[in-house]
């Protein structure tokens, strides 16, 4: 996360850290059910073997030295069948739900954001020298409607309808490498709902180049069917 701030420990209890089998963080993800994690498909490019990955939950520090940390192996990987940058991980055993580990809410199928919502992204990714490395950082910014985001001065038609943009028009704060797969959540009344999976961007925190997130509401039927059938 570029700029933003270090979050209150365990205030984003659905954020997971996707790691190599040796424990090296490389992507984020979100707990959507005690045994299921949503992440980006591009985070799973290096290996198609579930044993190559580990999911860390309940952590604030990247070092994962807290006693609240749960480390769970991955049982199965499910990439979206049409090569959209979204994937599901089934954990070998359910995460223990406690004050440090709580699933996020998913949006209603095909629900849309109006382009004014205040949303938040979190992660342990690159900070581009803005500090807070090693801690779970957060930053907030509005969602930008695709009509605006696809203007020539923004992302010039690169944003597909199954994606959404979010960021500050001036840049300055953004998600970045290492935050991929993590959540973009928006407050709906008193609950956080995951509307995006961190996917791609043109650089990080550049003016007029907001981050691009996979639009979760488009994939609710797929998520539901994978979870029900597995």
Partner 1 sequence: KGDVLDDYLRMDGVWILTRNKQFYETNNEIECAEKCEAERNFTCRAFLYTRKKLQCLTLAENSKTTLIFSSTDSVLYEKRIYLLQCKRGIGKDYRGTEAKTWRGIPCQKWAEKTPHNPNITPEKYPSAGLEENYCRNPDDDVNGPWCYTTDPAIRFDYCNIPECEGQVMQTTEATEGPTVDCMICNGEDYHGNVSRTESGLECQRWDAQEPHMHGYTLKHFPGKDLKMNYCRNPDGELRPWCFTTSPTKRWEYCNIPRCTTPPPEPAPGRQCLSGRGEDYRGTISVTESGNTCQHWSSQSPHRHARTPENYPCKNLEENYCRNPDGEKMPWCYTTNRTARWEYCTIPSCDGVEQDTAAVDGPEQAQVTEECYRGNGVSYRGTTSFTVTGKKCQAWNSMSPHRHNKTSDRFPNADLRQNYCRNPDADSRPWCYTTDPGVRWEYCNLKKCDDNLQITLPKPPQTTLEPDPECINGNGKDYRGTVAKTARGRTCQDWRSQRPHSHDYFTPLTHPEAGLEHNYCRNPDGDVNGPWCYTTDPRKAWEYCDIPKCPPAQYECGKSKVKQKLCAQR
Residues making contact with partner 1 (CB under 8 A): 3-5, 7-14, 34, 67, 93-94, 96-99, 102-106, 110, 112-116, 118, 120, 138-143, 145-148, 150, 161-162, 168, 170, 172-173, 185, 187-194, 207, 215, 218
Query: What b/e readout covers 148-184, taking b as 16+ CB neighbours within 10 angstroms?
Result: ebbeeebbeeebeebbbbbbbeebbbbbbebbbbbbb
What is the smallest separation between the CB atom of 78 and partner 1, expressed in angstroms? 20
Catalytic residue flag (residue 85): yes
For residues 180 and 194, which CB has a smaller minimum distance to partner 1 in the complex?
194
Q: How far is the CB of 174 from partner 1 (least distance, A)?
A: 10
| 25 flagged as catalytic | no
Report how far residue 122's alpha carbon sits from residue 119's, in angstroms, rounded to the nearest whole number. Answer: 10
Supply 171's token pair.
């840049």
Catalytic position from the list 7, 17, 175, 180: 180
Per-residue CA distances from 93 to 74, 76, 111, 158, 190 (Å): 8, 11, 31, 39, 29
Smallest distance, Å, CB 133 to partner 1?
16
Give the DSSP H/E element, type plus range, for residue 188: strand 183-188
How far apart are CB 112 and partner 1 at their closest, in Å?
5
133 catalytic per annotation = no
Rg over alpha carbons for the chain, rounded to the nearest Å, is 16
How far is the C-alpha of 85 from the C-alpha of 39, rounded, in Å?
8
Residue closer to partner 1 by CB (options 44, 165) is 165
Residue placing its CB nearer to partner 1 in the complex, 44 or 130: 130
Active-site residues, by number, are 42, 85, 180
């Amino acid at each position: 996360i570029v700029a933003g701030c270090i979050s209150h420990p365990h205030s984003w209890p659905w954020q997971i850290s996707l790691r190599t089998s040796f424990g090296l963080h490389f992507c984020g993800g979100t707990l959507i059910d005690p045994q299921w994690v949503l992440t980006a498909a591009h985070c799973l490019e290096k290996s198609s073997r579930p044993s190559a990955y580990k999911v860390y939950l309940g952590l604030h520090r990247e070092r994962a030295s807290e006693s609240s940390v749960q480390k769970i192996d991955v049982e199965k990987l499910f990439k979206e069948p049409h090569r959209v940058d979204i994937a599901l991980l089934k954990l070998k055993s359910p995460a223990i739900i406690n004050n440090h580990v709580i699933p996020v809410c998913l949006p209603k199928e095909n629900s849309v954001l109006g382009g004014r919502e205040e949303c938040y992204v979190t992660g342990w990714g690159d900070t581009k020298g803005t500090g807070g490395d090693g801690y779970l950082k957060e930053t907030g910014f509005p969602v930008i409607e695709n009509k605006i985001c696809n203007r020539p001065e923004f992302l010039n038609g690169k944003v597909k309808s199954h994606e959404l943009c979010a960021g500050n028009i001036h840049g300055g704060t953004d998600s970045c490498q290492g935050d991929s797969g993590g959540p973009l959540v928006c407050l709906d009344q008193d609950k956080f709902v995951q509307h995006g999976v961190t996917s791609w961007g043109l650089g990080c925190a550049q003016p007029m180049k907001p981050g691009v997130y996979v639009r979760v509401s488009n994939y609710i039927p797929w998520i539901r069917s994978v979870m029900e059938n597995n």
